[in-house]
A and B are shown apart, each in its own frame.
Chain A
Amino acid sequence: MSKIITEDRFRVIASEGLGRVSNATAHSMAWFRGQLYIGTSCGNVSGSADTPRIMRFHADSGEWETVYESPLVPVNKRSHAPDRQLVKHVKGIDLDRYQQRRGVSTDVIPRDAGFRSMCLFQGRSDPEPALYVSSMSRYGGQILRTLDGESFEPVGEPGLGNPDIYSFRGLTVLGDRLFTSPAGTTTDEWLDRNLAPEMRVYVTDDPVKGTWEIASEEGFGDPANMAIYALCTAHGMVYGGTANPERGMQIWRTRAEGKPPFVWEPVVMDGAGAFNHNLAVSAMCEFKGDLYIGGGITGLGYDTVHDIGPASAEVIRIHPDKSWDLIAGRMRFTPDGLKVPLSLLGPGLGDFYNSVVWALGVHDGAIYLGTHQWESFRSIEIDAPEIVGGYQLWASEDGENWELVIDDGHGNPAELGIRTLASTPLGLFVGTHNHKRLLQMIGRRKQAKMDFNGGFEVLLGK
């Protein structure tokens, strides 16, 4: 009997951003002290109504509790510096006017745009395993810690000492060490949510002390690597995946032996033979002894800054000996042999609009994959009679035969992406990303009908 949770066994346990529709993303999740925690985020924080939160789910009552809210801080130059990717996507739309219509305060603003990554870790100064959370902030991303799930305190300086670092991604534990990498750059002039001013991995065994050491060479020694985009453990090693607009994603790994910086070895180069159409490693996850990697171009499958794409997501699988398989994508010749997609699914798992594999997770003997699917934007662009599209959730018991579990954003075409997956004793939690605000901004010019919900959702499947 299949272990895969079918669509009818998923129910929505949070919707419309839990009362804050501008909280578009359930960005991170973790199971801590017998409860689920989620970190929300808002694409464009303008005032207190957008404040992102860390929330806790009480399974017995079905209630959500806010356990942390981003503090409000005075507005400064960085607060509204334009997002250089977004500005190109919504060319012609005055974002400031849009914000004014919403009646936002201009004095104070939430310090954080959201909470990107969560993990459990016991550092040297932690009396017990703590929940660590990384924030996204125009004032420098921070790492928060809680021991009891109620009191969250920053550990270390904003940006770990570099306030131009927007966030940290991929909080990852190997042995008694915690790893992370900077994500995004914040300046007075512009914001880039993905590409960081430092292309390094950092490591610590005591985050409370706020001392992090450099764990890798800058860009793993390749100046074309513009970000360490994902971190994950597998095969007893830390794997790091990059974004590389020139030659495509790279995957490196280290046993993290001795003192940092560690020795990293290349595993997959040149976008796994797809070059920059596999611009970045977007998700990684170990399953049945192999490492599964999602690649692609984030956003709408087109990198506006570097003019790359359009392209659709691919999935590869890495074995412990560094050999790899193409699971879904374009068949191709490579230095490592002829790669035919073992799932028989092409780029985007057969759907051109699946721009990126945004989440990978394992639950009860099956691997799940969540996509970012942007067909709704296309529907508006071509004046389609109906807006269609939305995320897809796929699953597989062997990593090769995949089935589509949920399609079309579970009935809401603004639900464009699955941002996070969490396997828990209660079942599989699915956190989504909702793009209604941006769709509205673009659709307003065309009088497109948008009678669907905004704000993230959380689904529970069991």
Chain B
Amino acid sequence: MVEPLFILAPPRSFTSISCGMIGCHPQLFGLAEVNLFAVDTVAELIDMHRTRRRLQNGILRSLAELAFGEQTETTCEAARRWLNDNQDMTTAELFRTMQDWADGRGLVDKSPLHVYAPEALARIAGNFPQARFLHLTRHPGDTVKSILQLKTEMREKALAKFPALAGREEQVDPKSPETMWLQPHLDIMEMLETIPPERKMRLRGEDFLSDPRNYLTQIAGWLGIRTDDEAIDAMMHPEASPFACLGPANARYGNDPGFMENPALRPYSWKARPLEWVKPDGEAVELSETVSSYGMILGY
């Protein structure tokens, strides 16, 4: 059995396409956003889903795909019932069950809540001592810009449905780079301090997307799985991931909407650029010394 791989990064750090690519290796299975380790037990997971309903989509789709080999309203509903029937399970036991269902393939996880929920990273490290971790990075300014852009898009959609929300725009936090980029990376780096060197790697997402075949071969080599052309070719097609499209009506999401809309790999190039971030009004602001310092450590 191939041990699981956890991709750790703040949101909007190319995690969806990365998980899509890596998870398409014949010996791996890239999950939807299951967010299991944000809590300890399945009961707590279901409780979390009650208030944040979209969060259940990823685990339902993943369970349906693993158990039945397809995601339909019926299989996703069956997955939901199965979860309800197994509320006494820990989330670690649930993950191990999913590993069993993956027929020896290693699970690849990239759940965004894992870098925000307290204890999530410790829960993963504690329960899966053989797991590997890929710390994915992106330029701090680009990360913040992308998160703010997504927020704007979501707000516009909300406004279309609920015009009464107009005029209640949220102010942009001047500390956005600290909260959205720096803090998650610091948490990731702190947790990775406890992980043996051979089980953790760091990669600039920009490098990965600029030369995916090169890095996919390296990642496969590091994971100790096939590096032949057939295996790497499969990884070059993230659109083949079962989670590269919308799910059935009762579990539509569970992945990044942008990725589901346009999941294929596209030519990408990146050049080093200044350590600054651009506010929604277009103003370019220098990143703080601390953010810049960590930006440079991560290669920006």
A residues less than 8 Å from B296 (CB atoms)? 245-247, 275-276, 308
Does A451 reach chain B (CB closer than 8 Å)?
no
Residues in A with CB closer than 8 Å to B211 are: 335
Majority-rule SS of A interface residues: loop
How far is the CB of B299 from the nearest CB of chain A, in Å?
4
A306 to chain B, nearest CB (A): 8
At the interface, yes or no: A62 with Cβ under 8 Å from chain B? Answer: no
A228-247 vs B, Cβ < 8 Å mask (1 yes, 0 no)? 00000000000000000111
> When the two chains form their complex, are residues A308 and B197 in contact, meaning their CB atoms are under 8 A apart?
no
Interface membership of B293, Cβ < 8 A: yes
CB within 8 Å of A: which of B171-215?
197-198, 201-203, 207, 211, 214-215
Instruction: Assess whether B201 is in contact with A332, with CB atoms less than 8 Å apart.
Output: yes
C-beta contact mask, A261-296 vs B, less than 8 Å → 1, else 0?
000000000100001110000000000000000000
| Residues of B in contact, count (CB < 8 Å) | 20
Given A331-B201, A335-B211, A346-B197, check contact A275 B299 (CB 8 Å): yes
Contact yes or no, B197 A330, CB < 8 A: yes
A307 closest partner in B (C-beta): B293
Closest-by-CB residue of B relative to A273 is B299
Complex contacts, A346 vs chain B, CB 8 Å: 197
Question: Beta-carbon contacts of A306-319 to B below 8 Å, as 1s and 0s?
Answer: 01100000000000
Q: Does A337 contact B (CB under 8 A)?
A: yes
A59 contacts across to B, CB distance below 8 A? none
Q: Answer whether residue B218 sits at the interface, using C-beta atoms and an 8 A cutoff.
A: yes
Majority secondary structure, B binding face: helix
Residues A247 and B299 in contact, CB atoms below 8 Å apart: yes
Are A247 and B297 interface neighbours, CB within 8 A? no
8 Å CB contact of B197 from A248, A275, A307, A331: A331
CB–CB A307/B289 < 8 A: yes
A50 to chain B, nearest CB (A): 36
User: Does chain A have a CB within 8 A of B219?
Assistant: yes
Chain B residues, Cβ within 8 Å of A338: 218, 221-222
Q: Nearest chain A CB to B79's CB is how many angstroms away?
A: 35
Decide: B297 and A333 in contact? CB cutoff 8 A. no
Enumerate A3-44 residues with CB–CB distance to B below 8 Å.
none
Given A331-B198, A333-B218, A276 and B297 contact (CB-CB distance below 8 Å): yes
Shortest distance between the CB of A264 and any CB in chain B (Å): 20
B52-88 with Cβ < 8 A to chain A: none
Question: Which A residues, 142 to 161, have Cβ-Cβ distances below 8 Å to chain B?
Answer: none
Q: Give the docked Cα–Cα distance between A246 and B300 (Å).
A: 8
Per-residue interface assignment for chain B, residues 288 to 300, with 1 indicating a CB less than 8 Å from any chain A CB and 0 otherwise: 0100010011110
Distance between B288 CB and nearest chain A CB, rounded to angstroms: 12
What's the tally of chain A residues with a CB closer than 8 Å to chain B? 18
Residues of B within 8 A of A246 (CB): 296
Minimum CB–CB distance from A63 to chain B (whole Å) comes to 49
Contact at A333–B198, with CB atoms within 8 Å?
Answer: no
Flag if B293 contacts A337 (CB, 8 Å): no
Flag whether B272 is at the interface (Cβ < 8 A).
Answer: yes
Tell me which residues across on chain A come within 8 A of B207, comparing CB atoms.
333, 335
A53 → B minimal CB distance (Å): 40
The residue on B at minimum CB distance from A270 is B299
Q: How far is the CB of A366 from chain B (nearest CB, A)?
A: 27
Separation in Å of the B139 CB from the closest CB of chain A?
13
Contact of B298 among A275, A330, A332, A337 (CB under 8 A): A275
Q: How far is the CA of A247 from the CA of B202 in the complex (A)?
A: 16
CA distance A331 to B197 in the complex (A): 7
Counting chain A CB atoms within 10 Å of each CB, the highest count among B221, B272, B289, B299 belongs to B299
- Chain A residues lying within 8 Å of B299, measured Cβ to Cβ, are 247-248, 270, 275
- B24-58 interface with A by 8 A CB criterion: none
In the bound complex, residues from chain B placing their C-beta under 8 Å from that of A332 are 201-202
- Name the contact of A275 in the complex, choosing from B198, B215, B222, B297 (C-beta under 8 A): B297
> What distance in Å separates the Cβ of B120 from its nearest Cβ neighbour in chain A?
25
Most buried by A among B198, B202, B296, B298: B296
How far, in whole Å, are A307 and B295 apart by their CA atoms in the complex?
A: 12
Q: Which of B201, B289, B293, B298 contacts A333 (CB 8 A)?
A: B201
Q: State which residues 274-300 of B face A: CB under 8 Å.
A: 289, 293, 296-299
Q: What is the distance, in angstroms, from B46's C-beta to the closest C-beta of chain A?
A: 38
Task: Chain A residues near B293: list those with CB within 8 A.
Answer: 307-308
Within 8 A of B (CB), among A315-351: 330-333, 335, 337-338, 346
> In this complex, what residue of A is CB-closest to B289?
A307
Contacting residues, chain B, for A308 (C-beta < 8 A): 293, 296-297
Instruction: Tell me which residues across on chain B come within 8 A of A275, comparing CB atoms.
Output: 296-299
Cβ of B71 to closest chain A Cβ, rounded Å: 32
Contact indicator per residue, chain A 97-120, by CB within 8 Å of chain B (1) or not (0): 000000000000000000000000
Smallest CB–CB gap between A291 and chain B, Å? Answer: 24
Question: Bound state CA distance, A276 and B293, in angstroms?
Answer: 10
Using A245-B296, A276-B296, A308-B297 as known contacts, say yes or no to A333 and B197 having CB atoms under 8 A apart. Answer: no
* A276-B299 Cα distance, complex, nearest whole Å: 7
A333 touches B215 (CB 8 A): yes
The smallest beta-carbon distance between B269 and chain A, in angstroms, is: 13
* Minimum distance in angstroms from A340 CB to a CB of chain B: 8
Give, as a whole number of angstroms, the nearest-CB distance from A195 to chain B: 16
The answer for the CA separation of A275 and B203 in the assembled complex, in Å, is: 12
Q: Which residues of A contact B289 (CB under 8 A)?
A: 307
A337–B296 alpha-carbon span in the complex (Å):
21
Minimum CB distance partner of A347 in chain B: B197
- Per-position 1/0 for B220-264, Cβ under 8 A of A: 011000000000000000000000000000000000000000000
Extra inter-chain contacts (17) besides given A248-B299, A333-B218, CB under 8 Å = A247-B296, A275-B297, A275-B298, A277-B297, A308-B297, A331-B197, A331-B198, A331-B201, A333-B201, A333-B207, A333-B222, A335-B207, A335-B211, A337-B214, A337-B218, A338-B221, A338-B222
Chain B interface residues (CB < 8 Å from chain A):
197-198, 201-203, 207, 211, 214-215, 218-219, 221-222, 272, 289, 293, 296-299
Chosen A-B contacts, 10 in total, with CB atoms closer than 8 Å, are: A245-B296, A246-B296, A247-B296, A275-B296, A276-B297, A307-B289, A307-B293, A333-B201, A337-B214, A338-B221
Closest 4 CB pairs of A and B: A338-B218, A275-B299, A333-B218, A307-B293
